Amino acid sequence: MRIHTQAVHAGDRKKAGDFIPVTTPVYTAASYFYERMERLDRIFAHEEPGYCYARWGSPTTAALEELVATLENGCGALACASGMMALQVALMAALLDRPKRVLAAEALYGATVTLLNQVMAPFGVQTRYVDICDLGAVERAIAEQQPGCVLMETISNPLLRVGALDRIAEMARRAGAALLVDNTFATPLMVRPLELGASLVVHSLTKYLAGHGDVLGGLVVSDEEHKEILAQLGRTCGPNLGAFEAYLTMRGIKTFPGRMERQCANARVVAEFLSRHPRIERVHFPGDPAHPDASVIARLFPPGLYGGMVSFELRDASRDEVFAFMNRLKLVVRATSLGDVHTMMLYPVMSSHREMPAAQRERLGINDKLVRLSVGIEAAEDIVEDLAQALD
């Protein structure tokens, strides 16, 4: 079954008594009652499917977990209250029975770096950073560090680099490490990391999957090896996503493939416009034939689908000049997120990578001239016209 059909149907239409709801309802119950104690005992023992306490799962969140696991072709899933919570749980699952060492991509979302350096490190987790697009460097770092987990993003935030996920999965597997992939930017429409050898996949549900700017949530999808570990962490730590947020996310996912295809098409139009504009010094877009990872992109991504993100640098612009440009935008929303139906712009040095040391940002190419654009589903011509008037 193709992903467009899976997005509409997976997870829904579970029998509830003598009727079947067309869409999964919002179950707000914290606990569940059964006529016989014997049945509740079997449910607690996982001998019979059912629900006993919301921290152990609920029908609404379980439906969402089934849906996203289907989209990612995974074996298990856990819906969490935020993308960062999902990432932390995924790291715990990856490192539970492995050395407490993470080999992480240098180019990561700023809050991910903060999680590794300020939250995981005090608990004894050592992190080493590597250029994930340099396969030789990755191989050497794995051999030297012998990590328990390799962490990367399918498309890096905000410079949109693409590592050879399939090759890195092979290296991690040979070293006995789990490969953890943040697939938020690519989505399962473009890449399904578990099919390429990853162990765990993380999504910020807030972004493309829910897609309407009204949900804060995250989700981890696992392979068979990590399925039970993930479930145990969910039952014990209680990172659960609320039932209403799960419902909204399922509602959003039904249109996600169509939205994402339009966002990819719009992003290509926007990137081409920006590449010709005299005020733009550089455009970062995976669909650019001159992209430094073009060969990997051609191998891993479906033809014509390069994501809905475009980052670009304003020529010789200061921070104040970037602010002035962004203040002139009329259609594009100046806000901290991405993947919404509306086009959004963010200034990484102020927001997503604010906590990263300035020297590290500069070394990675995240400079004061760089802005990140999440292209929405509006008419591409209207997006271009707004950018043009703000640039002129």
> Could you tell me the CATH number of the domain that includes residue 308?
3.90.1150.10
Instruction: Decide if 88 is inside a domain.
Output: yes
What is the rounded average pLDDT of the residues 386-390? 98
Instruction: Report d(CA 384, CA 389) in Å as an integer.
Output: 9
- State the total domains in the chain: 2
Of 18-32, 107-121, 127-141, the poorest mean pLDDT is in 18-32
Structure tokens at 238: 């209680």
In this structure, the strands spanning 333-334 and 309-314 are: unpaired
- The partner residues of 200 in beta bridges, in order of sequence, read 180, 222
Dihedral over alpha carbons 216, 71, 223, 221 (to 10 degrees): 0
Q: What angle do CA 42, 48, 54 make, to 5 degrees?
A: 80
Greater confidence (339 vs 19) lies with 339
SS3 category, 291:
coil
Average pLDDT, the chain: 95
**End-to-end Cα spacing for the chain:** 47
Same domain? 91 vs 194 = yes
What backbone torsions phi and psi does residue 50 show, to the nearest 5 degrees? 160, -175
pLDDT reading at 131 higher than 90: yes
Domain for residue 6, yes or no?
no
| pLDDT, mean of residues 340-346 | 97
- 55 part of a folded domain: no
What phi, psi does 109 have (nearest 5°)? Answer: -55, 135
Q: Are residues 284 and 192 in the same domain?
A: no
* Domain final position from 213, 238, 253: 253
For residue 298, is it within any domain? yes
CATH of the domain at 152: 3.40.640.10
Q: Note whether 186 and 235 are same-domain residues.
A: yes
- Indicate whether 80 belongs to any domain: yes
Tell whether 243 and 357 lie within a shared domain.
no
Question: Is residue 247 located within the same domain as residue 261?
Answer: no
- 248 and 262 inside one domain: no
172 and 202 housed in the same domain: yes
Look at residue 15 in the predicted model and tell me its pLDDT: 76
Mean pLDDT of 289-305: 97
Q: What is the 3-state secondary structure (H, E, C) of 258-270?
A: HHHHHHHHHHHHH
For residue 100, being part of any structural domain is answered with yes
Question: Which of 253, 276, 306 is a domain's end point?
Answer: 253
Q: Are residues 118 and 227 in the same domain?
A: yes
Same domain? For 226 and 262 the reply is no
Is the per-residue pLDDT at 4 higher than 90? yes
CA-CA-CA-CA torsion sign (344, 348, 349, 352): positive
Q: Please state, in angstroms and rounded to a whole number, the distance separating the CA atoms of residues 232 and 175.
A: 25
**DSSP per-residue string spanning 65-78:** HHHHHHHHT-SEEE
> Can you give the pLDDT at residue 12?
87
Considering the domain architecture, whether residues 310 and 177 belong to the same structural domain is answered as: no
Has residue 134 been placed in a domain?
yes
What is the mean predicted confidence (pLDDT) over 68-79? Answer: 98
Q: What is the reported pLDDT for 218?
A: 98
pLDDT, tens digit (0-9, with 9 covering 90-100), for 186-237: 999 999 999 999 999 999 999 999 999 999 999 999 999 999 999 999 999 9
pLDDT in the model for residue 19: 79
In the chain, which ranges are continuous DSSP H helix?
3-9, 37-44, 59-72, 83-95, 110-114, 135-145, 165-174, 187-190, 227-237, 243-253, 256-276, 294-300, 319-327, 358-364, 380-391
pLDDT at residue 364 is higher than 80: no
Give the pLDDT of residue 391.
Answer: 97
Task: Answer yes or no: is 156 within a domain.
Answer: yes
DSSP state letters, 81-146: SSHHHHHHHHHHHHHTTS-SEEEEESS--HHHHHIIIIIIGGGT-EEEEE-TT-HHHHHHHHHHH-
Distances from the Cα of 33 to the Cαs of 26, 104, 210, in angstroms? Answer: 17, 45, 31
Of 107, 151, 144, give the one whose Cα is nearest residue 125.
151
pLDDT at 22: 87
Boundaries of domain holding 272? 256-391
Higher pLDDT, 67 or 45: 67
Which of 218, 233, 253 finishes a domain?
253
Band of residue 312 on the pLDDT scale cut at 50, 70, 90: very high
> What is the predicted pLDDT for the residue at 363?
76
Torsions phi, psi for 171 (to 5 deg):
-60, -45
The pLDDT tens digits of the residues spanning 149-179 come to: 999 999 999 999 999 999 999 999 999 999 9
The count of C-alpha atoms lying within 13 angstroms of the C-alpha of 392, restricted to the half-sphere facing its C-beta, is: 6
- Whether residues 204 and 345 share a domain: the answer is no
φ, ψ of residue 115 in degrees (nearest 5): -60, -45
- Residues 89, 231 share a domain: yes
